[in-house]
Amino acid sequence: MECYRVIPLREDLWAISELEKTVMYVMNGRDRALLFDTGFGLTPLRGVVSELCGEKPIVVVNSHAHIDHHSGNNQFETVHVGRFDEPASHGWPSAEECARVREMNFSDYLAAGGDLSGWRPGPARRVCVLQDGDVIDLGGMTLRVLEAPGHTPGSIALLEESRRWLFTGDLILTWEVWGQLAESTALRVYWQSLQRLAQLERRVDTVFPSHWGENERDNPLHFPSFELPPEILPIYAEGTGRIVEGLDKGEPYDFWGREVRCQRFQIGGMVFDPHRIG
């Protein structure tokens, strides 16, 4: 059973949906290709990118250091990650973490005959840090790094200004994002990041998130696959601001036996710890 599918989105832009659970993006410049995230590490990424873009150097960038976004890093010599997620980008996942990921994400794949015998998630040999304002020039396509702490301290977004594309990782989704994790920033910091992204609303045409779902719960407004309108940027900023300012309290949300809160927006929403507003 194939663990991934490739979806053309624009000229020189593709999504790779792995197990329909996490999304990576491939951008094809004249001189280099860029792979945004490496997913669970099941997809043979070097071969997929080369098939799409030809035999050219591949720049690998992680949106943040979570197991469903950087587990394929060990398929590459070098990866780039936001500077504040660099410490979390060197270790191998524990047996307990791998077991949790298998239980949460791989059951359908295994039931359909999928094979995990070769699954070895792990880090790249070399990790390079990115910081705000860094520019990645692919040749005829330029990505600017935007630091956006929130979901993790080192979360980053990528902006391709000439094509009006914004890649946001896990910062913004069509369903509730997680801002309550132990490694998440205080919600006020997350809000500041979202306010900054909201200022880009008139400068982008499409927001590309790193998770997608086609069912009614995950895509209730029936957006085109893997594409969000720029209006989602102020929706997230304003909705999170109402939580920070105490205007919205959210509803109880069970996070693996720990009760936190969830406030849903017109699109998406925010899970948060009311004791970590900041």
Q: What is the pLDDT of residues 57-90, one digit of tens each?
A: 999 999 999 999 999 999 999 999 999 999 999 9
Is residue 162 predicted with pLDDT exceeding 90? Answer: yes
Q: What does residue 31 show for φ and ψ, rounded to 5 degrees?
A: -105, -30
Average pLDDT (130-146) is: 98
What amino acid is encoded at 80 in this protein? Answer: H
> What is the pLDDT, as a whole number, of residue 36?
99
Is residue 141 predicted with pLDDT exceeding 80? Answer: yes
d(CA 263, CA 190): 14
CATH architecture type of domain 1-147: 4-Layer Sandwich (3.60)
Average pLDDT (256-263) is: 94
> What is the pLDDT, as a whole number, of residue 26?
98
Instruction: Band the pLDDT of 219: cuts 50, 70, 90.
Output: confident
> What is the pLDDT, as a whole number, of residue 260?
98
d(CA 149, CA 186): 9
What is the domain partition of the chain in residue ranges? 1-147, 170-205+216-278
d(CA 59, CA 77): 10
| Cβ contact 123:93 at 8 Å | no
**Environment class of 227 (CB within 10 Å of its CB; exposed 0-12, middle 13-18, buried 19+):** middle
Strand order from edge to edge, sheet including 258-264: 176-178, 269-272, 258-264, 251-255
Per DSSP, 185 falls in state P
d(CA 214, CA 187): 28
**Environment class of 146 (CB within 10 Å of its CB; exposed 0-12, middle 13-18, buried 19+):** buried
Per DSSP, 39 falls in state B
**Which tokens is 190 given?**
């997350």
How many other CB atoms sit within 10 Å of the CB of residue 6?
15
d(CA 94, CA 30): 39
Average pLDDT (195-210) is: 98
| Cβ contact 272:236 at 8 Å | no
d(CA 72, CA 119): 9
> What is the pLDDT, as a whole number, of residue 218?
81
Is residue 134 predicted with pLDDT exceeding 90? Answer: yes
β-sheet bridge partners, residue 209: 169
Q: 231, 172, 169: which is closest to 204 by C-alpha?
A: 231
d(CA 177, CA 45): 26
